[in-house]
Amino acid sequence: MAILRNNSRQFGVLASVGALSLFIFAAAFSFGQTKNSCVDCHSALPAPEGVTQQMFSQDIHAQKGLTCVSCHGGDASSDDPTQAMNVKAGWKGKIDRKQVPQLCGSCHSNPAYMRQYDPSLHTDQLSQYHTSIHGKRLAAGDAKVAVCTDCHGVHNLRAPSDPRSKVNPVNVATTCAHCHADAAYMKGYGIPTNQLAQYNTSVHHEDLVARGDLSAPTCTTCHGNHGAVPPGVDKVQNVCATCHVFQAQMYDKSSHKAAFESASLPGCVVCHSNHAITHPTDAKLGTGPEGVCMQCHSRGDNCDQARAEMLNELTQLNQAIKNADQALAEADAAGMEVSEARMAQSQARDALTKARVAIHSFNKVLVDQDVQAGLKVANKDLQVGRQAMVERNRRRAGLGVSLLAIGMVLAGLWLYIRKIES
């Protein structure tokens, strides 16, 4: 222990000395680097040439000590534009859209270089990008697709963890929609431009934006960021399954899986859609407008009968839980002690949740198991609630009889006193 403590003290001293020299070094370094004629001159220029110090200081690259020259080349020590922006000094001029991935990749695909800054940072963005529809089309000469700067921005580019970053989870959808929701821009590709509009109605968007739950998916969670391709039909389940594990396990064992695969149907998406996924209710199992089963099954066939039975079971359990809740609430309001049964109700609710997951087996026996377990609890709780009210009524009646008896005694006494007085 003594050695350990001694060591940690030594380490503390060393760390302070290290931090101090690092500070002096950094200060000296930044003084030595003060001359940046590019930003001095460009700060005063109008758009699009205007790049101010204030804007660039927000950029992760500036914060890590990189300068204009790191990307554009040139001689930042000269105030003479013909010197500063001279191809002989390595000046590259404006980076053409088609050259952007190559430029960014020149550092970001170099593990030895990137390791000096952050060893945990991936260095596969460019190679991934080449596999995406964006990358493939760019390679084929289509400059309208997304390049690195369309998603990340430029000159005030921030780390994805920064809430102001264009690729922070809460901003991704708008970033993609900049092109994908622009019908004029996307004209000619023959793909829909409603992804954002639909996604904005989804339970995923609501969970992410309204509730701030970063575990809910945005565009890139399902499509990938650098390897952006739509998940192929056979891959969709895998995407949904990374989060909805139990439904996927049930679905995988169901006869729907093989049947859908052989018909090239996109699994979960058949019943839930891809972008406009909403909170499902039991009506999804029904035959009304929200129902999803009748698009393939016909009224009265075996599958339809199984569907009707499963729906009936869910409805029954749902109603049983409501009845028990009501009876217990009444008893509670009447001052009866039913807290144990009220707690037990959560087991019935859990059973209902499990039964709704078990729907994905499309096997009425499995659904029945969960429903029966829930019914047992809910019906018992209903009895507890009703029993409590019977007990309360009995006590009330008892109280009434006692009050009557007391009243009669008092009346007798009064009569007796009057009799004595007279």
Instruction: Looking at residues 65 to 94 of the shown chain, list those that interact with ligand HEC (rule: CB under 6 A).
Output: 66, 68-72, 74-76, 79, 81, 84-85, 93-94
Phi and psi dihedrals of 363, rounded to 5?
Answer: -125, 115
The answer to the question of residue 51 lying near ligand HEC (CB under 6 A) is yes
Count of alpha carbons within 13 Å of 187, Cβ hemisphere only?
Answer: 3
In angstroms, give the least distance from the CB of 396 to ligand HEC.
Answer: 42
- State which residue, 97 or 386, has the beta carbon closest to ligand HEC: 97
The answer to the question of residue 199 lying near ligand HEC (CB under 6 A) is yes
Residues 131-150 that bind ligand HEC (CB under 6 A): 133-134, 137, 144-150
Stretch that binds ligand HEC, among 40-48, 321-329, 372-380, 406-414 (CB under 6 A): 40-48
Task: Report the distance separating Cα 341 and Cα 381, nearest Å.
Answer: 5
The interface mask with ligand HEC, positions 95-124, x = CB under 6 A, is: x-x--xx-xxxxxx--------xx--xx--
Pick from 138, 172, 336, 388: which binds ligand HEC (CB under 6 A)?
172
What burial letters (b/e) apply to 169-188, b meaning 16+ CB within 10 Å?
bebbbebbbeebbeeeeeee
Task: Report the distance separating Cα 186 and Cα 227, nearest Å.
Answer: 20
The residues, ordered by sequence, that sit 6+ positions from 35 with a Cβ below 8 Å of its Cβ are 76, 77
Pick from 138, 156, 239, 318: which binds ligand HEC (CB under 6 A)?
239
Vertex 164, ends 23 and 122: CA angle to 5°? 70
The answer to the question of residue 209 lying near ligand HEC (CB under 6 A) is no
Residues 363-422 that bind ligand HEC (CB under 6 A): none
- State which residue, 9 or 164, has the beta carbon closest to ligand HEC: 164
The answer to the question of residue 351 lying near ligand HEC (CB under 6 A) is no
In angstroms, give the least distance from the CB of 332 to ligand HEC.
Answer: 28
Phi and psi dihedrals of 264, rounded to 5?
Answer: 55, 40
Task: Report the distance separating Cα 101 and Cα 62, nearest Å.
Answer: 19
Stretch that binds ligand HEC, among 24-32, 227-235, 332-340, 387-395 (CB under 6 A): 227-235
Stretch that binds ligand HEC, among 21-29, 246-254, 317-325, 399-407 (CB under 6 A): 246-254
Task: Report the distance separating Cα 127 and Cα 2, nearest Å.
Answer: 52
- State which residue, 224 or 387, has the beta carbon closest to ligand HEC: 224
In angstroms, give the least distance from the CB of 319 to ligand HEC.
Answer: 14
In angstroms, give the least distance from the CB of 84 to ligand HEC.
Answer: 4
Could you report how far apart the first and last alpha carbons of the chain are, in Å?
Answer: 100
Stretch that binds ligand HEC, among 8-16, 327-335, 352-360, 406-414 (CB under 6 A): 352-360
Q: What's the distance, CA 310 to chain centroid?
A: 30
Distances (CA, A) of 190 to 183, 184, 185, 186: 10, 11, 11, 8
Nearest to 64 by CA among 93, 94, 107, 97: 107
The answer to the question of residue 328 lying near ligand HEC (CB under 6 A) is no
Place of tokens 């639909």: 198
